[in-house]
């Protein structure tokens, strides 16, 4: 079979060198209609979904039934051919698509699948070599690209269901086993590269990727937008604090903007004008410009002050775009590049303290005075509705339902306080963001004090359709959780003080009398 025919047939398979990536326009990912998304969640591709919806008046149910019938018919039609491709190691889904495109020709379908895998690996090789030519370390590049590939598979599952995932994982596995050989870092590149960025920022350290629109990845941050743009960002953030009169800032800012634009959405730049946003500058303890912080999942993982040389900047960027676990270690520039910390670089303990201050400040600024007062009123009302006292057994053997044993109620309210504290300490940790409604501790707390559910609702823990067995925290605002926790602690202090007073002969007041 000629190469031209093979290439022509390969085009019809609708495969891509990296099928895990979604189509993109100039500004980022294309948004699909609700109906297309619904079918994609069922496992169909956007191509199949759009075609089926067009033929069924945009009716999701009819379109899904048609797609299912077509797939069943094709599975039966190509039963023998699928078995042969399966023996060759191809998964059923990829094999079926290839057979449909090639009219059931097993040989051509197998060649097309092999060509697709080869194209995928060549794409990976090209990306690695391109970044190495930009001056990146080959091992850092490979791990960064492989991790991004894994993240794209996760995105594909979340947005499009598991259809095509097996194929993507097979190609990822081949890329992981790839051991392409590179010559030592080009001496020409090394000699031509500026040794210090203080004279002029170099673009050799920029993360190579498809460009996106500036407004999609470069933001001017205020107190009100700090929470959403920086702390709740789904991608790593370069948080730059600058001043218009600062000379080095004028050198560094365009360079960082180019990093974000060429990063293709892998990271974003959030700029803070220190002269205008003085409060943010104070929270970050900025005393020199420019000051740059690497923020991932709401936590500051690294920082630098001034302008770094090329090698230090490259390591800093690697620590930002590759998560701590990607290389089996924490790869902040503190650990990758050094015998000692840079001047102005924060220690791990300092980063944790500053992250906490930043989270509290940003969350409080987003809330505003009115929302904060309303939140305090809601949690106070929920706490005051709790009636505390000694349960008294009635003649029929039951307990009075309006009063709960003090110690049990205190434990229940402490549980709310603890849940909030855990989330405050690590707001992005999935382990803390979900509360099992069937756990012994939770069911016991609700049994003793049903009001804890209302308090958790005020805190932002809610049931969802996807996960009805858990209460899930639906926001990332640490300030909200701090208000709930402080209110619970204050209530416990008052309740215990009242209990001591009653034990010494005082009247038996309930909490709503406080």
Total count of residues recorded for the chain = 514
**Which residue, 432, 300, 274, 303, is CA-closest to 353?**
300
**Which residue, 201, 219, 221, 326, is CA-closest to 268?**
219
> Hey, which residues are catalytic here?
246, 249
Residue pair 59/73 in contact by the 8 Å Cβ criterion: no
Is 154 exposed, middle or buried (CB count within 10 Å of its CB: 0-12, 13-18, 19+)?
exposed
Using only C-alpha atoms, the chain has a radius of gyration, in whole angstroms, of 29
Q: Which two three-digit tokens encode residue 49?
A: 């979904």
Q: Residue 277: helix, strand or coil by DSSP?
A: coil
Is 431 exposed, middle or buried (CB count within 10 Å of its CB: 0-12, 13-18, 19+)?
exposed
Q: Between vectors from CA 208 to CA 328 and to CA 428, what angle results, nearest 5°?
A: 45
Residue pair 428/297 in contact by the 8 Å Cβ criterion: yes
Phi (first) and psi of residue 461, to 5 degrees: -85, 120
Question: Which residues are registered as beta bridge partners of 305?
Answer: 291
- The DSSP secondary structure of 429-447, one letter per residue, reads -HHHHEEETTSHHHHHHHH
Q: Which two three-digit tokens encode residue 104?
A: 């059931």
- Give the span between the Cα atoms of 271 and 402, in whole angstroms: 54
Question: Which residues are registered as beta bridge partners of 167?
Answer: none
- Give the span between the Cα atoms of 409 and 447, in whole angstroms: 10
Secondary structure, 3-state, 21-88: CCCEECCEECCCCHHHHHHHHCCCCHHHHHHHHHHCCCCHHHHHHHHHHHHHHHHHHCHHHHHHHHHC
Contacts of residue 313, defined as CB under 8 A and 6 or more positions apart, other chains included, come to 197, 205
Residue pair 497/509 in contact by the 8 Å Cβ criterion: no
């Amino acid at each position: 079979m000629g190469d031209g025919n093979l290439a022509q047939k390969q085009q019809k398979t609708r495969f891509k060198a990296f099928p895990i990536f979604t189509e993109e326009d100039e500004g980022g990912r294309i948004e699909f209609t609700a109906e297309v998304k619904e079918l994609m969640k069922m496992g169909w591709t956007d191509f199949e979904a759009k075609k089926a919806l067009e033929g069924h008046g945009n009716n999701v149910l009819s379109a899904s039934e048609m797609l299912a019938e077509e797939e069943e018919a094709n599975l039966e039609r190509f039963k023998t051919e699928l078995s042969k491709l399966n023996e060759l190691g191809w998964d059923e889904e990829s094999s079926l698509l290839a057979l449909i495109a090639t009219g059931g020709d097993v040989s051509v379908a197998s060649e097309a699948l092999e060509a697709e895998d080869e194209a995928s690996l060549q794409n990976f090789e090209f990306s690695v070599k391109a970044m190495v030519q930009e001056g990146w370390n080959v091992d850092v590049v490979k791990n960064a690209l492989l991790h991004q590939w894994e993240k794209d598979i996760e995105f594909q599952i979340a947005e499009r269901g598991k259809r095509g995932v097996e194929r993507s994982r097979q190609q990822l596995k081949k890329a992981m086993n790839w051991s392409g050989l590179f010559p030592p870092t080009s001496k020409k590149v090394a000699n031509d590269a500026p040794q210090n960025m203080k004279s002029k920022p170099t673009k050799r350290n920029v993360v190579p990727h498809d460009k996106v629109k500036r407004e999609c990845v470069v933001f001017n941050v205020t107190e009100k937008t700090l929470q959403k743009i920086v702390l709740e960002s789904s991608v790593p953030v370069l948080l730059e604090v600058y001043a218009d009169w600062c000379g080095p800032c004028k050198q560094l800012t365009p360079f960082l903007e180019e990093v974000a634009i060429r990063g293709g959405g892998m990271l974003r730049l959030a700029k803070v004008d220190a002269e205008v946003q003085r409060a943010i500058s104070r929270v970050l303890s900025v005393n020199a410009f420019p000051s740059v912080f690497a923020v991932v999942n709401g936590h500051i993982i690294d920082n630098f002050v001034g302008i770094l040389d090329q090698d230090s900047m490259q390591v800093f960027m690697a620590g930002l775009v590759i998560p701590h676990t990607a290389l089996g270690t924490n790869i902040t520039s503190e650990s990758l590049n050094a015998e000692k910390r840079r001047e102005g670089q924060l220690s791990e303990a300092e980063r944790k303290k500053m992250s906490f201050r930043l989270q509290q400040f940003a969350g409080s600024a987003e809330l505003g005075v009115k929302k904060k007062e309303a939140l305090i009123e809601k949690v106070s009302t929920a706490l005051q509705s709790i009636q505390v006292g000694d349960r008294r057994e009635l003649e029929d053997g039951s307990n009075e339902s309006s009063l709960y044993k003090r110690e049990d109620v205190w434990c229940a309210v402490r549980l709310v306080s603890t849940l909030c504290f855990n989330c405050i300490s690590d707001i992005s940790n999935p382990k803390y963001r979900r509360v099992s409604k069937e756990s012994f501790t939770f069911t016991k707390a609700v049994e003793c004090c049903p009001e804890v559910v209302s308090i958790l609702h005020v805190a932002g823990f809610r049931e969802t359709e996807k996960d009805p067995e858990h209460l899930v925290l639906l926001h990332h605002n640490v300030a909200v959780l701090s208000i709930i926790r402080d209110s619970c602690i204050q209530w416990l202090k008052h309740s215990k003080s009242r209990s001591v007073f009653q034990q010494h002969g005082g009247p038996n007041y309930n909490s709503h009398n406080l």
